[in-house]
Homo-oligomer: A and B are copies of this chain.
Amino acid sequence: MLSYTCKTAIKAVIYLASRAEDSDKAGMIEIAKHIHASEHTVGKILQTLVRQGIINSTKGPSGGFFINDSQRKQPIINIVESVEGDQVFKACGLGLSKCSASHPCPIHDDYKVARDLIEKLFREKKVKDLCDPVSNGLAFLIG
């Protein structure tokens, strides 16, 4: 249900956040390698995330991408909304612009329940909650 770009963004952030906080910054080649994605694509995506304040980067030698402790505590929805826009969890299931509680489409209420659940999931799960949950390293990051 999420775009490939969005899934890749989440995986990249999880990888970043899974590294020791005081370790060196990660370059986009390293990140791309670990999540099995194109380094160019990863670079583009991470640029967006830096601009949105989801992660940080520094240029130059020993530069790279990194994430701080307060960013580790942010919800996954921050990533999703940065990539997909902030209307993802607002849109009607049938794509009607005028669908609302007062002018509902036939599946309005049922769809809203499911959509709200996904929104809740991404809002409650923090970046750090997704780091190495099964003690199998980061094997789950490669698709």
Contacts and interface: CB of A to CB of B under 8 A. Distances in A.
A91 to B, nearest CB: 8
A2 interface: yes
A114 interface: yes
Kindly state the interface size class of chain A when it binds its partner: 35 or more
Contact of A143 (B1, B97, B104): B97
Number of copies: 2
A113 interface: yes
Interface stretch (A41-49, A66-74, A129-137): A129-137
Interface of A: 1-2, 4, 7-8, 10-11, 14, 76, 91, 93-99, 103-107, 110-111, 113-115, 117-118, 121, 125, 129-131, 133-134, 140-143
